[in-house]
Amino acid sequence: MFSGSGSVAAGRTVPTSERSRWAISCAVGAALAIGFGLFAMAQAPQVPYADAWRFLVRFLSLPFPRSVLDSENGHLALLPHLVRWAELHVFAANQLVQTAVGMLLAASTLALAMWRLRLQALEPAHYWAMSLLLALGLFWLGNFRVLTHSSETVHAYAVTLCLFAGLALASRGGVGASAGAGFCALCASLCFGSGLAAFPALLLAMALRRARWIDYLPIVVLMTGTLALMLGLRAGGGDSAMQPLDVLGRGEALLRWLGGPALFASWPLWDPQIAAQVPNSQLRAVLEPVAAAYEQQAGQVMVARWPHLAWGLLGALGFACALLRSWRQPRPAAVMGTALAAFALCVGAMIVLVRAEYFAMHPDQLLAPRYVAWSSLFWAGLGLVLLDALRPVRAAQLACAVFALSLPSQLWMYQLAGKQKQVAERAAVAAAVGVVEPALPLGETVPEELAQALPLLQAAEAAMFAWPETQWLDRAPEPAQVSFLAPTSLQVRAVDNRLGAAGRRVEFELAGVPAARLLLIDPDGRVRGLARREAGERWLGWMRADGPNVEVRVAVLQEG
């Protein structure tokens, strides 16, 4: 296949210089994909969001270690809960610790996978092509719901790190290595429910490598014990009622679930609202009628059957081909890719089975962005098998093409992540003041969980209640402690409040203020609310009490 000066592909000799150029291109693409992902992770909101409110309630209302050991919706999250608990009690739930740990776990996952590929003595073009595809599987911004949510990163990338560590150990052979691999799968299961899928992925990898029967024993024993524990937890949580199994319906749901990454990578083609936000006017003029025609024929994209089902069928066919190839030629990269795809497939199967009733009530949630981090790994795994079957230059060309096609989606998914951050930060400011108007979008935050967390966080002076500005609510600062500002376009109006008495919504414009939050002060000199910076010079805030709509003063808290 290879000669001293080049490789043979498509009937010609590929010069070493061309292979080097493609290897460098893939390496640059991998670096960019990693950079995009880590940058997005660093932009995660530094306030609780969605499930994080519920986690904080349990940590502040239950004694340690019960607060980290109790099951969560029928599964354990021991290792992530330890990080969250420590962050709450040492760093006042600032979310930065979870963000940093999540970034470290994600980077370590990719580093471990790349190290395993490096041991296979692949040509540079082949190695970097596979590394680029793995980087996209982990760091593509279609995974924004996990990448840019600190609480999600801790459990998701702890699971992926345990998975790749288990695959690395399983590849060594022997009972000891198998026991180590099984322990990694156990750790994955203790991080999140999806970690259970690491067990069948490891067993498949061992089967493809023709492991001895004795080598399976430690993993099977650990898997059996873990399954028994999880089933017991679900039964103890009162969620043990067996529902009739709709095999065809669940199978179709799984196939549609697999199509999630393709949907978000081509989103403007299917959703008129997304197409309308494309910045290029000429491209927007093409996409808008296409998306409108699709929606008219197929319905809203999140609940439509097609083309999601076609993508899923393509994925199922690809997985069957990957299994066949890896069985016939169990090359390490192909085995890794097939096991990775099997892991994601098992995660999807668990999701569509366990959450069947939920999806029946909320069919649009099957393709929710929070699941894309798992389905992306399915396609990354299949991609590894495909690249392994290609010659190095062809593999590098394909990987670069996939990267190029992913670039537009990086933009609109990053914009979606920015909107999620805005929702989280607005809700946090409003909650800190104690005025959450019904019209305020909360995203995936459950209002009841938010309301339950607030008094506990206030007593602990954690999260928003650790901000210096929040300490001044209902107090009158001395003139030397604040600097009064002169906002323009000031608007104050009364609003209803989810949390109790009515409050006020305050909007104004103000330039040249570096602070992230400002104080809103009534004529009596007391701080009644907070405002946060919106886009550009716009500010938005809330105030306690349905007071006068004039004479609201805006001030910035002086340092020290």
Task: Identify which of 364, 367, 369 has the alpha carbon closest to the alpha carbon of residue 416.
Answer: 369
Q: Do 376 and 473 have their domain in common?
A: no
Q: How does residue 560 score in pLDDT terms, banded at 50, 70 and 90?
A: low
More confident residue, 158 or 523: 158
Token pair listed for 237: 């949580």
Give me the mean pLDDT over the 491-515 stretch: 92
Task: Identify which of 405, 418, 417 has the alpha carbon closest to the alpha carbon of residue 266.
Answer: 405
Structural domain contains residue 4: no
Q: Do 328 and 412 have their domain in common?
A: yes
Phi, psi of 531 (to 5 degrees): -130, 150
Q: Do 518 and 406 have their domain in common?
A: no
Token pair listed for 111: 């580093």
> What is residue 352's predicted lDDT score, i.e. its pLDDT?
94
The proportion of the chain whose per-residue pLDDT surpasses 90, expressed as a percent, equals 78
Q: Given a cut of 50, is residue 235 above it in pLDDT?
A: yes
Structural domain contains residue 459: no
Q: How does residue 121 score in pLDDT terms, banded at 50, 70 and 90?
A: confident
Q: Do 320 and 372 have their domain in common?
A: yes
- Choose the final residue of a domain: 423, 453, 475: 423
Q: Which domain covers residue 195, as residue numbers?
A: 25-234+247-270+307-423
Beta bridge partners of 72: 75
Token pair listed for 316: 């199922």
Q: Given a cut of 70, is residue 371 above it in pLDDT?
A: yes
What is the pTM assigned to this prediction?
Answer: 0.91
> What is residue 240's predicted lDDT score, i.e. its pLDDT?
46
Q: Which of 16-20, 102-106, 220-224, 351-355 bottoms out in mean pLDDT, i.e. has the lowest? A: 16-20
Q: Do 546 and 401 have their domain in common?
A: no
Taking CB atoms within 8 Å and a gap of at least 24, the contacts of 34-39 are: 34/107, 34/110, 34/135, 34/139, 36/139, 36/141, 36/410, 36/414, 37/106, 37/135, 37/138, 37/139, 37/140, 37/141, 37/143, 37/147, 38/103, 38/106, 38/107, 38/139
Task: Identify which of 38, 114, 140, 131 has the alpha carbon closest to the alpha carbon of residue 376.
Answer: 140
> What is residue 45's predicted lDDT score, i.e. its pLDDT?
94
Q: Do 415 and 471 have their domain in common?
A: no
More confident residue, 483 or 14: 483
**Residue 259 DSSP class:** T
For the chain, the domain total comes to 2
Q: Given a cut of 80, is residue 249 above it in pLDDT?
A: yes
> What is residue 8's predicted lDDT score, i.e. its pLDDT?
43
Q: What is the DSSP string of 354-393?
A: HTHHHHHH-GGGGG-GGGHHHHHHHHHHHHHHHHHHS-HH
Q: Given a cut of 90, is residue 412 above it in pLDDT?
A: no
> What is residue 277's predicted lDDT score, i.e. its pLDDT?
81
> What is residue 187's predicted lDDT score, i.e. its pLDDT?
96
> What is residue 236's predicted lDDT score, i.e. its pLDDT?
56
Segment 27-52, tens digit of pLDDT: 999 999 999 999 999 999 999 999 99
Structural domain contains residue 288: no
> What is residue 232's predicted lDDT score, i.e. its pLDDT?
75
Segment 194-234, tens digit of pLDDT: 999 999 999 999 999 999 999 999 999 999 999 888 877 66
